[in-house]
Amino acid sequence: MPPRPAWYAWVYFAIIAMAAFGSTFLATVASGRHSDPGLAWLLKCVLVMVSVVILTTAYLRRDDLLWSRYGVSLAPHALKRCALGFACGLLLTLAWVAIVACWAPFQWQANPALRWEAVVTGTLASFAMGIAEEVGYRSYGMERLRQDYGFIAALTIPTIIFVLAHKAGGVSWLPAVLVVGSSGLLYASLMSMTRSLPLVAGFHIANNVAQDALLRTSDGSLWMPVFRDAGFAESHGPGIWTCMALLNVSIAAWAIKHRAQTA
């Protein structure tokens, strides 16, 4: 990676953020006020993904770099890594489900509000946004930060931006810091260990898709959790989020250690 001024990475992340907000505005205008919310969300995610990928490609070309630097290709090994990441992301979500069940017992029941078109649009949106976030936060910009500011900065700065973006999207501060923040640190650590964007994107996408299916309740959820005591579950949110964060940080620490041993 050729040397650039110290501000170069900051400009990259600023442009990525502007592209994301601009895509959100365009999606709102294009979808109109009375469109299906699922289709509007899918349009937003696709526009964000396309803009982030185009901008990152422009930065890579300016530095004479290829996407293969981050493991992106159509080769079988890249597809296998994507599948491995997807499987591991599902396992992490199941571990989160177990944490929730320990704090606040629940049972699943069929979602009476399920709409299969919402499942399809929600799944496609998760794929698009997962790709956009991993490209924007964990590829060129993260490597540029590592070269200019060091390994710790490369892990923490994209994670902080990741948290702030989710906070701007409506997530409360405590779950944003504990769950979103620890997840961002986990994704960054996995990227540092594997240098495989397909693996990390698959991990992230699977985590989001499984949460939509199992833990979040919407018309795109396959099942809905029914808690024995909804008030009890809500009051124990901080404990649940803390346990999720501890699990995420533990996996991130393992990834960092493994990277240090094999670097």
Instruction: Supply the mean pLDDT for the chain.
Output: 92
Q: Which two tokens stand for residue 113?
A: 């509000």
pLDDT score for 151: 94
Per-residue pLDDT at 224? 87
- Residue ranges per domain, the chain? 8-262
Shortest CA distance to 139 belongs to which of 197, 83, 81, 187? 197
CA pair distance 256, 146, nearest whole angstrom: 14
pLDDT of residue 199: 97
Supply the pLDDT for residue 33.
66
Give this prediction's pTM. Answer: 0.93
Judge whether residue 185 has pLDDT over 70: yes
Residue 263 has pLDDT above 60, yes or no: no
CA-CA distances (angstroms) from residue 91 to 57, 110, 210?
32, 22, 9
pLDDT at 260: 64
pLDDT computed for residue 241 by the predictor: 96
pLDDT score of 262: 52
Q: What is the mean pLDDT of residues 17-32?
A: 82
Asked if residue 34 has pLDDT above 70, the reply is no
- Identify the three-state secondary structure at position 244: helix
Which pLDDT score is estimated for 218? 84
Residue 106, number of CB atoms within 10 A of its CB: 18
How far apart are alpha carbons 81 and 72 in whole angstroms?
Answer: 10
The mean pLDDT value for 213-238 works out to: 84
Q: How many residues are recorded in the chain? A: 263
Mean pLDDT of 1-18: 93
User: 216 versus 90: which is more confidently predicted?
Assistant: 90
- What is the rounded distance in angstroms from the CA atom of residue 44 to the CA atom of residue 169? 13
